[in-house]
Chain A
Amino acid sequence: MDGAQTDEKLTAKQYKSDYRPVWCPGCGDFSVLSAITKAMAELQLKREDTAVISGIGCSSRIPAYTSVYGFHGVHGRALALATGVKLARPELTVIVTGGDGDGFSIGGNHFLHACRRNVDLTYVVMDNQVYGMTKGQASPTTASEWEGSKLTPHGTGVNPFQPLAVALAAGANFIGRQFSGDPNACAKLIAEAIQHPGFSFVQILSPCVTFRPEQREWKQTVHTAPVEPTSDPGRAGKRLMSDDGLNMGVLYVGGRPVFQPPEGTGATLADIEQKFTL
């Protein structure tokens, strides 16, 4: 941790730790890490009041590379862990990071319920359509005909998961997509997502240059969404279902009320014990 004074403006670099990432050279996640720290600097988040929570996988290593509080949990459970942090400490800014396998496969159920619960979290998924840490198996977002893994030598034969459409159907309050090759746009999107109340979902296409080298092509194929963000889930649904997966930008902004824990009544333990007394 480099010691910035709290009354000075923090730079993006000051949100990074001095710990070297385990990622392969050229990994998209380097840019996402930069984008996250830029967003933190942009919002001047207090490091002590910010937590980055993750599960397992290449991108789930991010907490250790930041200088804020963090929790590197077990595979697939980052959203549940983060929900606990935010509900227990509502004043904290809680960002969840992870990959497509962690979030949509082993953690798929938590993704659905985090969307519908609408606790004020920002979920950044670095999607590279592959399990990188275990050296290149198909993930839920992998195209069905991809034959690059020994585990599924004939391709998965399974339709890829549509994270944004699923997020919308499950009730996410903010949905956006970016490409790691454009870190400034990523930072802007993440900052917007953090500021949006409720559950915000950001998919970042983040190439795995080791196991999916063809993803380098994304640089040429991604494009800014040709339309303004909508707050109409019907329109957003149509848009996301016919989307080519390469539309960048904020795609849906909802106004659903944020999960609000009930207020206490100021009762004491003696008050609640009273019910047991004969």
Chain B
Amino acid sequence: MSNSPQSDTVSIALTGAGGAGVVTAGQMLLEAAATAGLYGLMARSSGPQIRGGESAAFVRMGPRTVTNLADAFDIHIAFDWLNVERFAAEIPLDPHSVVICDPSAGAVPEVIENSGARIVPVPLKDLTKEIPGGRVNMVGLGALANLIGLPEGTMASTLKKILRRKGEEALKASNAGVQAGRQAVAEMGVVRALTLPDKPPQTERWSITGNEAAGMGAVRGGVRFVAAYPITPATEVLEWLAPNLEKIGGLLVQAEDELASINMAIGGSFGGVPSLTATSGPGLALMMESIGLALTSETPVVVVDVMRGGPSTGIPTKSEQSDLNIALYGLHGDAPHIVTAANSVADCLFTTQWTVHLAEAMQTVGLVLSDQSLGQTRTIVDRPADEPFQAQRLVAEAPLENYRRYAVTDSGVSPMAIPGTPGGEYVADGLEHSPIGRPSSQTEDHMAQLDKRLRKILLHEYGDHWAEITGADAPETVIVTFGSSTGPVREAAEEATAWGLKVKVVSLRLLMPAQTTKFEEAIAGADRLLVVEQTHSRQFYRYLRAYYDLPRDVRVLNRPGPLPIRPGEVLSMLKEWS
């Protein structure tokens, strides 16, 4: 297994009460790894408290792009044991794991003890007390740095960069804390070494979260108007867009609720400006009626849904893929629209940008599925490539005579007059309408407009972006997945390949309209199909059954959130099957 994808990464969990600063320490660790030339990610998990309460940061670092969490953590540092049982299931440990904990925090909880991990008490709090202005997370950070062999110079320069605005005193205290932490575990040596490159990668690398990436994708695609209503875990898409849209001459407005935010976005788009909103499950449910309006009035709009545990209020701070059904089928009436899914943190950028392009090109609704584990995870990646996809709406240009907004065309797309265009005056309508846009309840108008709205999305040429396909050309097993389940599935497939199995992974980016022919070509020749998804009711499997011809032998690996699909689970399923 020495060359398996997992073996050259290091995984660390940091947990503690809100004041412990685990997220800050995690971010510094990730940044230091980046400085050392590594890639990596930091996912976070938190309890329901607004401030304080327990929180966890999960960091995984390695010499290549890291898209997902590993099967187990190499090191778990617990600053205290506050509600750790709430996280225990999210922190798989094994006998190779090392747990650093403060003896002053009390007895090691049974759930940790039972993992068989090596428990190493380190008096983190007492060490911190000896440092003027010291913080316990910096002592912990120092201990971690030593245990994974992170060079001292790298850590020092990272601290200097991050703390440059906090002043000399803060930097001094942090450095002292890191040193104290290093010394406290010095005799353990390096327990899990980072695979450091000889020289940093020559490519430009970014530090970005999925939510920021979705925002960046939106503006790359041409979005210049956004209406926002805060909701966990989508808020950061909007918080990133607010200042950045302003800088480039766009606008974000905060709405009074999701019913307003979607309608404001539709209004902005009617005005000719590519528009978007972002939300999560409950907000998406509220928006559904108006999403139907955008679709029927053929006013393009993009909605980014950063999924969380559902239904109802569900688990707002944790991930799940269970908005798939509402995204695909949530609209009343026959309402064909575009549904896409981002397959990694970085892909939130491309998928959002592409969806803006698609929605604008087809004058319809584009729904982008992301989720908490993508949106709120920070990753170090190569700069996402510039892609040509832009908002390019077919507009009706003056002079216009006898303008027909909903003219029935071969492509299904009709030129859209933008207010300000003389002769193009029309009324966009959610009522079924005639080609000139008059309300109509006539059979032939309904049929013609239903056909037109379907035709335009079926005839569009989506190219190769409908899915990302990796692995064997002539596979025995094809794994079909989407969204954040893609990372662990790919890692498992790589390991399976190293074991000699012939595995191919098809991760669908375009869920609607279903690309049946391309899909069938992609899975051709495989006898077995494994479906992997993070839902309780096998929503993705049922969708696949509904739209595609599947081989006879199909198995499903599904689980609701918040636990992510782990590569090892996929791998053992593949091994069992062979």
List the interface of chain A (C-beta within 8 A of B): 1, 6, 19, 46-49, 51, 53, 63-64, 67-74, 76-77, 79-89, 91-92, 109-110, 112-113, 261-262, 264-269, 271-273, 276-278
Contact = CB atoms under 8 A, between A and B. Distances in A.
B425 A68 contact: yes
B273 A269 contact: no
Given A64-B439, A73-B293, A83 B264 contact: yes
Interface string B265-304: 1111111110100000000000001101100010000000
A48 B423 contact: yes
Given A88-B251, A267-B248, A278 B380 contact: yes
13 contacts: A48-B420, A48-B421, A48-B425, A63-B427, A69-B426, A74-B290, A80-B267, A84-B225, A84-B263, A84-B265, A88-B272, A92-B420, A264-B249
Contact of A6 (B227, B248, B422): B422
Contact of A276 (B206, B219, B253, B425): B206
Interface string B395-429: 00000000000000000000001011111111111
B438 interface: yes
Contacts of B439: 64, 72
Contacts of B212: 276
Interface stretch (B166-174, B254-262, B323-331, B563-571): B254-262
B428 A72 contact: yes
A77 B427 contact: no
Contacts of A113: 255-256, 260
A276 B255 contact: no
A70 B426 contact: yes
B248 A272 contact: yes
Contact of A1 (B268, B297, B425): B425
Contacts of A261: 251, 253
A109 B261 CA distance: 13
Given A70-B428, A89-B419, A91-B420, 5 more contacts: A1-B423, A48-B425, A70-B427, A80-B261, A88-B269
Interface string B92-129: 00000000000000000000000000000000000000
Contacts of B427: 63-64, 69-72
Interface string B192-204: 0000000000001
A109 B258 CA distance: 11
Contact of A88 (B35, B206, B225, B292): B225
A51 B272 CA distance: 13
By CB atoms of chain A within 10 A, which of B208, B224, B420 has the most?
B420
Contact-residue bracket for chain B = 35 or more
B207 interface: yes
Interface of B: 34-35, 204-208, 212, 216, 219-220, 224-225, 227, 244, 246-251, 253, 255-257, 259-261, 263-273, 275, 289-290, 292-293, 297, 380, 383, 417, 419-431, 437-439
A33 to B, nearest CB: 14
A84 B275 contact: yes
B267 A84 contact: yes
A147 to B, nearest CB: 32
Nearest to B249: A264
Name the residue among B227, B260, B383, B417 with the largest chain A CB count within 10 angstroms.
B260
A109 B419 contact: no
Contacts of A6: 422
B16 to A, nearest CB: 27
A72 B270 CA distance: 12
Among B261, B267, B293, residue most surrounded by chain A Cβ atoms (within 10 Å)? B267
A88 B267 contact: yes
Contacts of B225: 84, 87-88
Nearest to B381: A276
Contacts of B255: 80, 113
Contacts of B35: 278
A85 B423 CA distance: 19
5 nearest interchain CB pairs?
A: A84-B267, A264-B249, A84-B264, A80-B263, A88-B268
Nearest to A266: B249
Contact of B260 (A47, A88, A110): A110
Given A49-B419, A63-B427, A89-B271, A71 B253 contact: no
Contacts of A273: 216, 383
Nearest to B398: A48
Contact of B246 (A51, A76, A77, A264): A264
Contacts of B207: 276, 278
B383 A277 contact: yes
Contacts of B205: 277-278
Contact of B272 (A68, A72, A89, A267): A89
Contacts of A79: 260
B431 A81 contact: no
Contacts of A80: 255-256, 259-261, 263-264, 267
A84 B419 CA distance: 13
Contacts of A47: 422, 425
Given A84-B225, A113-B260, A272 B419 contact: no
A67 B425 contact: yes
Contacts of B248: 264, 267-269, 272
B247 A87 contact: no
Contacts of B430: 72-74
B267 A81 contact: yes
Contacts of B421: 48
Contacts of B265: 84
Contacts of A91: 420
Nearest to A264: B249
Contacts of B256: 80, 109-110, 112-113
